[in-house]
Structure 1
Amino acid sequence: MILTSTMTGIASPDPLQHAFKVKSAPHAGRSGSKPIKVDSNLWQQWWHTSTTADKRALYIHIPFCRKRCSFCNFFENGAKPERISDYMASLCQQLTIAAQTPLAQSRPFDTVYVGGGTPTDIKAEEIAALGQAIQQFPLRKDAEITLEGRLNGFDDDKWHSALDNGFNRFSFGVQSFDTDVRRAAGRFDDKQTLLDRLQQLSQHPTASIVIDLIFGLPGQTMDIWQQDIEAAMACGAQGVDLYQLIGLGGTRIDKASEKGKVLGTQASEFQADSQTRANMYAFGANRLESKDWQRLSSCHWRRDDRERSIYNSLAKSGIEILPFGAGAGGSIHGHGMMNARDLSEWHQAQAPSKEAEVNSQLASQCLPAKVPGMILSPNPSAAFDAIFKRGLDSGILNFTALEADVVTHLHPLFEAWQQHGLAILETDSLSLTLAGRFWNVNMQTGLFEFLATNPIAEAKIAS
């Protein structure tokens, strides 16, 4: 049995700060998949075949932003109104066509997520058209339908258009409430503007308002972070995500760092190291839970049960996610999909189906266009791996979903985590400590490394 420090972490008096060196990726995973070619016959077959998935989602990508934030490495397209309008018209057409297929109609969808980019940069009438296109899919009665974006520019017309057309969850990238930190990061509004708008939107009786905060932004001291947490609890939002700043290549922060500069505020060039970010996470988690916010995952809390976070939780379970739009990712019949980001190529792929615009009967007979991108063979370990990703992300890995021999095989790793202060090992479960929740992505990566290094002869999942 081989164990390494990248699997187990290291022994330390303070595992929260020192169990691992740094969190180097937002997600963990392994893949037994490989790129495959899908011809038009197979593509048609897929859309004419009923799903076998128990849980399903739609992911819809709006790849436009008015401004590139300093921490972002996936800025795609400037938010020019004409460009957005052309894209939204084609996207809604594709959704309308897809909604009528046997694949789409074979089972209702649990959740829909409209991400980006900045989806709230589209017009109110485009939000309405998008919502109406989504409603053509079979949706569960209590389906969660999320619109992601920013508060700047999300006026009352857009808000009411979204509500009137089926959206019931709104995820806003606040990142920090501090005006100076926000300006340094490339955000638009000041603190008071954010608070006022969030308090207005949160008065709605049923919609869930969620905000994202990032800890570790340049110029964001511990004192500022503590004020961010207090503002998050005071603004009325039903949910909050706490995300650690990851040093990804290609961001403005990264490029400045290469030149020996820090994109801080006028008052401070403070940049939190991994240990400080660990303390920031601990403060946020402890403060929220001291005020009875319920933790749904290692990075997400809710004020009350209006916030359900269905898409985020199910996406970690290996469910079927039908992707639409340039840059969208998902899966179809177990095959991973990632649509290419190039807008011109995406539009060109739609061209053959534009005849459907003039004939609704023809539209019902069409299939969604096969756009440029990558399609992967089914991952044979996807369901098995999803148990660990879902469990470690939530903070509790229940052994009831695993065969006894799998648990026995993993025991040395689990015992090492317990010895290093990352988890508590019990007879029927493994519970992560606060330190374990902070390092859960590293632990997931370590677990998959352990399985690759010490393979199980026959890994079976309990039914």
Structure 2
Amino acid sequence: MILTPSMTGIASPDPLQHAFKVKSAPHAGRSGSRPVFLEPQQWHQWWQQPSQATERALYIHIPFCRKRCTFCNFFENGTNPERISRYIKNLTQQLHIAADTPLAQSRGFNTVYVGGGTPTDISSDEVKQLGEAISRFPLVDNAEVTLEGRLNGFDDDKWHNATANGFNRFSFGVQSFDTQVRQAAGRFDDKDFLLNRLQQLSQHPSASIVIDLIFGLPGQTLDVWQQDLQAVIDSGVHGVDLYQLIGLSGTRIEHAREKGKILGTALSEFQADSQTRAKMYASGANHFEAQNWQRLSSCHWRRDSRERSVYNSLAKSGIEILPFGAGAGGSIHGHGCMNGRDLKKWHQAHDEVTSPNELIANDSIATEPMANAPVQVPGMLMSPNPSASLDAIFKRGLDGGKLNLSLLPSAMALHLSPLFSAWQNNGLAELVQDQLTLTLAGRFWNVNMQTGLFEFLAENPLTSETSSQQTHSVHAIAS
């Protein structure tokens, strides 16, 4: 049995600050899939097959931003009205085609997420077009439909067109309310504007208003962070995500750090280390829970029940997610898929479809019209993950802070017991009967713990006999 500190963390009087050295990735995962190539005819056939998923989502990507923030490493395309107009035209056309396919119509969609980029940079009329295209899909009753973006430029016309055309949840990247920290991070607008606008939007009788905060930004002292937390309460929003700043390559913050500089404010070059970020997380969790906010995951809290965070919750459960747009990711018929980010190639794929009546031919045998399936754009497809159902249990449980061991095959739960015991000994979790509950420290380090769990399984694989038992049990759970 191999156990390493990267799996278990280390024993420490203060596991919140010292169980692991640093959080180095936003998400955890493990390999098990391989790239696959799909012929155009096969792609077309996929969209003629009913879905077997019990829960589903749409993800729609808008890859444009007016400005690159200092903490961002995935800036794709500068905002340009003409480029956006062309993109939305092609995107909505493909949504219309996809919505009428047997794959889309076979089962309802629980949630829709329009992300980016900055989706709110599109025009008011384009918000309406997008909402109308989404409405063509069979959405379940009370489906959550989220529009992501920023408050800057999200005027009343966009707001009214969004709420009138099916959007009922809005996620705004605030990151910090402090004006100087925001300016240093490359954000628009000051604290007063943000508070006033959020207070206005939060008065809507049913829409959920959610914001993101990042802790650990340059110049964001502990005092500034405390003010950020209070501003969330004062803003009237219905939910908040607290994300730790991670030193990802390619960001302006990392480029400056490599040169020995800090992109701080005029008042402070304070840069929180991992231990200080742990304190920031703890103060955030304690602040909201003292205000009777409910924790839905390790990083998300809500003021009241209108905020459900359906997409974020289900996405961790390995559900089917149909992706649309350059840079969109999801899964179709169990195959992971990621559309390429190159906007030129994405448009080229659409332009190559010369007519809605163009036929797909294979060995001179014509099949159904291309119009019966959305365009197959450049990207990557992966074979089904053989451990997908099991991994979903791990991710959903650890992200939520409670892993129900009765959902695991008995052989797997027993196999993992040394790891769970180590987590308990190191102050990261409490194991009571069939439930592993993460401590505050465990919730802060939950991505490291997920990564450690997958590392444990890679280094300590089950035997073929117990693997067979595992597969049978997981299929039984899924059915």
Alignment of 1:79-118 (within 5 A): 79-118=79-118
1:74 aligns with 2:80: no
* CA displacement, residues 402-454 of structure 1 (integer Å, 9 cap, x when unaligned): 12221111111000000000000011100000000000000000000011111
> Take 1:382 and 1:424, find their aligned partners in 2: how far apart are those partners?
26
- Does residue 311 (structure 1) correspond to residue 311 (structure 2)? The answer is yes
Given that 1:70 and 1:185 are in contact with CA atoms closer than 8 Å, whether structure 2 keeps it comes out as yes
**Counterpart in 2 of 1:167?**
167
Tell me the TM-score normalised to structure 2 length. 0.95
Report how far residue 369 of structure 1 moved: 0.4
Q: Residue 255 of structure 1 aligns to a residue in which SS?
A: helix
1:178-217 Cα offsets, whole Å, 9 max, x none, are: 0000000000010000000000000000000000000000
**1:50-61 matched pairs, under 5 angstroms:** 50-61=50-61
2:141 aligned with 1:138, yes or no?
no
1:411 pairs with one of 417, 429, 438: 417
Q: CA deviation at 1:365?
A: 4.2
User: Once the 2 structures are TM-superposed, how far is the Cα of residue 363 of structure 1 from its aligned partner?
Assistant: 8.9
Q: CA deviation at 1:354?
A: 6.2
Q: TM-score, normalised by structure 1?
A: 0.98
- d(CA) in 2 for partners of 1:363, 1:203: 48
Q: How does 1:260-299 map to 2 (within 5 A)?
A: 260-299=260-299
Q: Which moved more, 1:40-49 or 1:148-157?
A: 40-49
In the TM superposition, residue 355 of structure 1 has moved relative to its aligned partner by 3.4
* Residue type at the aligned position of 1:416: A
**Which amino acid in 1 is paired with 2:88?**
M
Does 2:30 correspond to 1:30?
yes
- What's the secondary structure of 1:355's corresponding residue? coil
Cα distance between partner residues in 1 of 2:389 and 2:264: 43
Structure 1 residues 273-304: Cα deviation after superposition (integer angstroms, max 9, x where no partner): 00000000000001100110000000000000
**Superposed counterparts of 1:232-247, under 5 Å:** 232-247=232-247
State the percentage of identical aligned residues. 72
Q: Distance in 2 between matches of 1:456 and 1:167?
A: 46
Which residue type is aligned with residue 38 of structure 1?
A: L
Match of 1:429 in 2: 435
Instruction: Return the letter of the residue paired with 2:460.
Output: N
Using the TM superposition, give the Cα deviation of residue 55 of structure 1 relative to its aligned residue in structure 2, in angstroms: 0.6
* Cα shift at 1:400: 2.0
Matches of 1:280 and 1:443, distance apart in 2 = 19
Deviating 4+ runs (over 6 angstroms): none
Shift of 1:69: 0.2
Alpha-carbon offset, residue 141 of structure 1: 1.1
The residue number in structure 2 matching 1:337 is 337
Q: Secondary structure at the match of 1:447?
A: helix
Contact 2:44 2:370 (C-alpha < 8 Å) held by counterparts? no
Distance 2:16 2:169 in 1: 33
Taking only aligned residues, the RMSD between alpha carbons, in angstroms, comes to 1.4
* C-alpha separation in 2, matches of 1:322 and 1:395: 28
Q: How far apart, CA to CA, are the structure 2 residues paired with 1:379 and 1:274?
A: 33
Instruction: Give the conservation status (yes or no) of the 8 Å contact 2:44–2:372.
Output: no
Partner SS, residue 35 of structure 2: coil
Structure 1 residues not aligned, in runs of 5+ = none
CA distance in 1, matches of 2:401, 2:74: 29
Whole-angstrom distance in 1 between the partners of 2:445 and 2:354: 48
Corresponding residue of 1:176: 176
The answer for the alignment partner of 1:448 in structure 2 is 454
Q: Does 1:45 align with 2:51?
A: no
What whole-Å deviation, never above 9, does each CA across 1:286-338 have from its counterpart, x for those lacking one? Answer: 11001100000000000000000000000000000000000000010000100
- Paired letter, 1:430: L
Counterpart of 1:371 (choices 361, 369, 377) is 377
**Cα distance in 2 for residues equivalent to 1:98 and 1:49:** 12
**Residue deviations 1:242-275, cap 9 Å, x none?**
0000000000001011111100001111000000
In structure 2, what is the Cα distance between the partners aligned to 1:353 and 1:424?
Answer: 57
Contact 1:64 1:78 in 2 (8 A): yes
- Which is further off, 403-412 or 145-154? 403-412
Corresponding residue for residue 210 of structure 1: 210
- Check whether the contact 1:97–1:363 (CA below 8 A) recurs between aligned residues: no
